[in-house]
């Protein structure tokens, strides 16, 4: 037990260690094993705000949303046993999506290991496959060092998630205050960015300029690295087409002349896919060339010329034989590309992509507009996206669950500024993400209007977290696409199983009434003519708001999902 006034106990050392790394918010839920940690947060004079949640999953999702919009580490916490297991979905999503989220799960006492105490689980084994760094701390004097190691791992190289287990008994043991310090650079990501070697930059430029129809495909790495300005300069000077993955949306403004938009199987359209098929060289930038962006590797075709930029060397050559690989921070790499082009005496001839892109967008949005203007009931999801395009402030943050709203927003939204203004959990696609991640995003960037979209299936996963949203009076607008089914699976059964629907439908619920019971100002919309005015009213409401929209079933719609469009 702590005895000296000059020492801290382990719980206090954890608070001070987090504070030393610039942590300002912790999202979490109390439990028996967290008693000393909560007592330390109560007793110490510190700069951290603890956000009490109603479910540990939601704590991790909030930390994820916070990390995505702030460039800082998101921190969540929960108790032993069930708390540790519930926090897993958020950790794996953050880790695979390359965002730094630290989960602290308090644990049973080290002294009771192996004695079958309540809530015993091997936390270190549980978290090992999901995290970039993971340990259960066995001694209090190791706490400052393990926190530093976790922050180093999360913020350097390819960012990712980390886990620290904090047993109950060591939270009371002594820690020397002089051992508590943190590198401020590890408070944000990417920390200590590394530039690529010059020869790889030269080779990449030579390869790009030798192509006739090159296409850049950007993933989330561009935004994580803050490389948007360098990308803009490159795309504009070469007039080269820039497509994105779902996570890469915001690499350029959607209104940029060289911005083709999202390509692939989720939100890509036949029109945007044309340039993927026509490209004689594809440049992946901060994009892993996974199944969604390439429509299950339908394009580029095997044997296509590939140039790949990424901070993680493991992604290069993983799916395609690569002609040139450039390993390093994307901002520094693109600055190097632009510097190399500056040095060239004979200025490269522009590729003429803007004219092609304008024609592609004209055709894509002409089809979109026909559906928007159809006045169809139930309401077409396209009408919701069109209305948001008209109403959203240019700095708004939109959060989408991976269900009904996702492909439509990917394909047809018009983000006016580059940067992280669109969030969706595309790595593992767990339902229930957006309701909570939106609160984390608002806490991280309260000056921006936050809108969260989800299906009615997703809403039921985490609607209890609306109490937290109301408690913090967060002026978030929630939009529920209600079609009384797990729409993505039902549409897949329509396309892949010859309309053999099995266990995908559920009873219609009045989501507006549910939200109203939590204290959320809510509306229900069934008529297309009422949509714009209702959404406008909801988005200007001073507190939390929700609009429950009765929408067209996904299996009957024309969703921009390639495998449904055959």
Q: Is 343 in contact with 205 (CB distance < 8 Å)?
A: no
Is-cis flag, bond preceding 300, omega within 30? yes
Could you tell me the mean pLDDT of each successive run of 10 residues in the chain, 566 residues long?
A: 68 98 98 97 97 97 98 97 95 96 96 90 94 97 98 97 98 97 97 96 97 97 98 98 98 98 95 95 96 94 92 95 97 98 87 97 96 95 98 98 94 97 93 97 98 97 97 98 92 92 95 98 98 98 97 90 76
pTM score, whole prediction: 0.96
**pLDDT confidence of residue 176:** 96
Place of tokens 């994580």: 224
Q: Is 232 in contact with 335 (CB distance < 8 Å)?
A: no
Is-cis flag, bond preceding 312, omega within 30? no
Nearest to 218 by CA among 327, 310, 147: 310
**pLDDT confidence of residue 3:** 44
Is-cis flag, bond preceding 190, omega within 30? yes
**pLDDT confidence of residue 566:** 56
**pLDDT confidence of residue 346:** 82
Residues 6+ apart with CB under 8 A from 141: 173, 174, 175, 176, 179
**pLDDT confidence of residue 303:** 80
List Cα–Cα distances, 12 to 28, 75, 362, in angstroms. 17, 16, 59
Residues 6+ apart with CB under 8 A from 92: 130, 161, 427, 428
Pairing, β 133-136 against β 101-107: unpaired
N-term to C-term CA, the chain: 68
Maximal CA-CA distance, the chain:
75
Separation between Cα atoms, residue 378 and residue 355, nearest integer Å: 37
**pLDDT confidence of residue 5:** 56
Separation between Cα atoms, residue 524 and residue 443, nearest integer Å: 27
Separation between Cα atoms, residue 25 and residue 292, nearest integer Å: 33
List Cα–Cα distances, 332 to 145, 158, 231, 235, 284, in angstroms. 30, 14, 11, 16, 16
> Could you say which DSSP state residue 195 is in?
P
Residue 418: both structure tokens together: 């580059």
Complete domains list, the chain, with CATH = 8-187 (3.40.50.970), 198-355 (3.40.50.1220), 373-564 (3.40.50.970)
Nearest to 83 by CA among 32, 151, 23, 135: 32
Q: Is 282 in contact with 207 (CB distance < 8 Å)?
A: no
């Amino acid at each position: 037990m702590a005895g000296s006034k000059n020492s801290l106990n382990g719980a206090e050392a954890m608070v001070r260690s987090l504070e030393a790394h610039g942590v300002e918010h912790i999202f979490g839920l109390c439990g028996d094993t967290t008693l000393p940690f909560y007592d330390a947060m109560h007793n110490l004079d510190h700069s951290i705000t603890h956000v009490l949640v109603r479910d540990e999953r939601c704590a991790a999702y909030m930390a994820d949303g916070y990390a995505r919009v702030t460039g800082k580490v998101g921190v969540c916490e929960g108790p032993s046993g069930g708390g540790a297991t519930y926090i897993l979905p958020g950790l794996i999503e953050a880790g695979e999506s390359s965002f730094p989220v630290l989960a602290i799960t308090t644990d049973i006492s080290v002294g009771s290991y192996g004695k079958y105490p309540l809530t015993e689980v091997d936390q270190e084994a549980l978290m090992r496959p999901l995290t970039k760094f993971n340990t259960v701390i066995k001694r209090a004097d190791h706490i400052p060092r393990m926190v530093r190691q976790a922050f180093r791992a999360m913020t350097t190289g390819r960012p990712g998630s980390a886990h620290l287990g904090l047993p109950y008994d060591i939270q009371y043991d002594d820690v020397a205050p002089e051992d508590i310090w943190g590198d401020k650079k590890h408070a944000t990501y990417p920390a200590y960015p590394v530039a690529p070697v010059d020869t790889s930059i030269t080779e990449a430029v030579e390869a790009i300029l030798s192509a006739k129809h090159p296409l850049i495909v950007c993933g989330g790495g561009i935004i994580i690295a803050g490389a948007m300005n360098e990308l803009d300069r490159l795309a504009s000077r070469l007039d080269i087409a820039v497509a994105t993955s779902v996570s890469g949306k915001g690499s350029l403004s959607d209104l940029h002349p060289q911005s083709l938009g999202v390509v692939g199987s989720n939100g890509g359209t036949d029109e945007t896919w044309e340039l993927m098929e026509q490209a004689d060289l594809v440049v992946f930038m901060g994009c892993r060339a996974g199944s969604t962006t390439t429509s299950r590797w339908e394009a580029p075709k095997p044997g296509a010329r590939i140039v790949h930029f990424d901070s993680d060397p493991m992604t290069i050559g993983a799916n395609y034989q690569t002609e040139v690989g450039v390993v390093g921070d994307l901002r520094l790499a693109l600055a190097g590309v632009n510097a190399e082009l500056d040095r060239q005496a004979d200025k490269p001839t522009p590729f003429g992509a803007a004219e092609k892109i304008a024609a592609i967008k004209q055709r894509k949005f002409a089809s979109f507009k026909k559906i928007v203007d159809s006045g169809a009931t139930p309401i077409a999801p396209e009408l919701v996206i069109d209305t948001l395009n008209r109403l959203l402030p240019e700095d708004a943050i939109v959060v989408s669950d991976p269900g009904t709203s996702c492909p439509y927003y990917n394909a047809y939204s018009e983000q006016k500024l580059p940067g992280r203004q669109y969030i969706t959990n595309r790595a593992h696609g767990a339902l229930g993400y957006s309701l909570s991640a939106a609160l984390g995003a608002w806490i991280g960037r309260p000056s921006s209007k936050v809108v969260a979209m989800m299906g009615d299936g997703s809403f039921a996963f985490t609607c209890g977290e609306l109490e937290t949203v109301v408690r913090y009076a967060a002026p978030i607008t929630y939009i529920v696409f209600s079609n009384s089914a797990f729409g993505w699976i039902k549409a897949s059964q329509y396309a892949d199983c010859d309309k053999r629907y099995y266990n995908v439908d559920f009873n219609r619920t009045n989501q507006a009434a549910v939200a109203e019971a939590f204290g959320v100002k809510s509306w229900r919309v069934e008529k297309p003519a009422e949509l714009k005015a209702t959404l406008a009213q909801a988005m200007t409401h001073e507190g939390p708001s929700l609009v429950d929209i009765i929408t067209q079933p996904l299996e009957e719609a024309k969703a921009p999902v390639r495998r449904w469009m055959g």
